[in-house]
Chains A and B, each alone.
Chain A
Amino acid sequence: MATIVVDVMLKPEILDPQGKAVASALPRLGFTFATDVRQGKRFEITVDGEPTAAQLAEVEVAAEKLLSNPVIENFTVRVEK
C-alpha cells in the first residue's frame, strides 16, 4: 500500500483571504514569525502496492480535471513513503 499525495494551492496571483485571516490571527497569539500565510488542500490517495508510472500519470489527469481548478490553482503530485 502506498499513498499518493496531491497538494493543491491557489496560484500566487490569486488573493487568499483564508490565508490572510490565519496570518492576522497568528500575532494575536504571540506568534510573530510569519510574513505571509497561504492555505491549500492536501489529498492523500491510497493505492495497492507501489504506484506505477501509469497510475501517477492518471493521478495527474485527475488532479487537473477534478482535484484542482487550473484557472485559480496549481497542484503537485508525489508519492509518500
Chain B
Amino acid sequence: MKIGVVTFPGTLDDRDAARAVRYAGGEAVALWHDDAELKGVDAVILPGGFSYGDYLRCGAISRFSPVMEPLIAAAMGGMPLLGICNGFQVLAEAHLIPGALTRNQHLHFLCTDQKIRIENNNTAWTNSYTKDQEIVIPLKNGEGSYQCDDETLKMLEGEGRIIARYVGENPNGSRNLIAGISNERGNIVGLMPHPEHAIDALTGPGVDGLGFFTSVLKAMVK
C-alpha cells in the first residue's frame, strides 16, 4: 500500500508523517508540490507546517499548487486523503471540507499534548479506533480555531462528520470543540492535532496516533 506525503515549501511534518506510514506497515511515497502527479499512490497525507510561510492565509497558496489538481480529482473520486494541521487548512481552502481555520481565540501559538475523543470511527482514517475512544496526541498550531456558519455546524453534527473533538477545556476556540471533520463520504479527513507525532513512546506522548495510519491501510484492503 503506497501512501503519498506531500511536501510544500515550508512543510515541517512530512518526514514524521512518512515515518508514521512505515510504522503502520505502509510504503511512504514522497510527493512534491510542484509535480502534478500522484505516482500511483493509494492514499495521500497533507502534513503540517507553514506552507508558503502561511502568507495570505494558511493553506491559501498551497491549495493552488500543481499537485493539488490531480489530488483533488482523486479525492473527489474516493481516494483517502488526510490533512493534518496545515494540511487541514489546505483542505478547507480547497473547499474539500466545509468551514475554515482561524487564529486561535487566545492569539497564542499552542503546543501541548491534547486529549481528543474519536466520535466517528467509520472513516478511512479512524476505523482502527473504537467509537468514543479517548486518545492523547500533540496539538501545535497558531490558527486552529475551526469556524463555520450555524447551518454547516448543524449538518456536520447531524451527519456524524465531526470525527474528533477536544476533551476538556477548549484549546483554541473551535466551534463545538471540533478537532477534526470529514467529508460526506468519509474518505477525506481534516485534523488539527498531530497523530504522526504520537506513534512511538520514545519520541511522543505515546502511540495513540498510529491508529490513523493503520486505519487507512485497513480501509484500502476492504
Partners in one complex: yes
Q: What is the interface of chain A, defined by CB distance below 8 A to chain B?
A: 10, 13-15, 17-18, 21, 66-67, 69, 71-72
Chain B positions 72 through 100: 1 when the CB is less than 8 Å from some CB of chain A, otherwise 0: 00000000000000000000110100111
Q: How large is the interface on B (under 10, 10 to 19, 20 to 34, 35 or more residues)?
A: 20 to 34
CA distance A17 to B144 in the complex (A): 13
**Which residues of A are found within 8 Å of B93, using beta-carbon distances?**
69
Q: Say what secondary structure dominates the interface of chain B.
A: loop
Which parts of B88-133 form the interface with A (CB within 8 Å)?
92-93, 95, 98-100, 102-107
**A18 and B103 contacting across the interface, CB-CB below 8 Å:** yes
Chain B residues within 8 Å of A, Cβ to Cβ: 56-57, 60, 64, 92-93, 95, 98-100, 102-107, 145, 147-149, 173
Give the residue among A14, A21, A69 with the most B Cβ atoms within 10 A: A69
| Residues in B whose Cβ lies below 8 Å from that of A72 | 100, 102, 147
A21 to B105, alpha carbons, bound, how many Å? 10
Q: Is the CB of A69 within 8 A of B57?
A: yes
B56 near A67: Cβ-Cβ < 8 Å: yes
Give Cα A21–Cα B147 distance, bound, in whole angstroms: 19
B98, B103, B105: residue with the most chain A Cβ atoms closer than 10 Å: B103
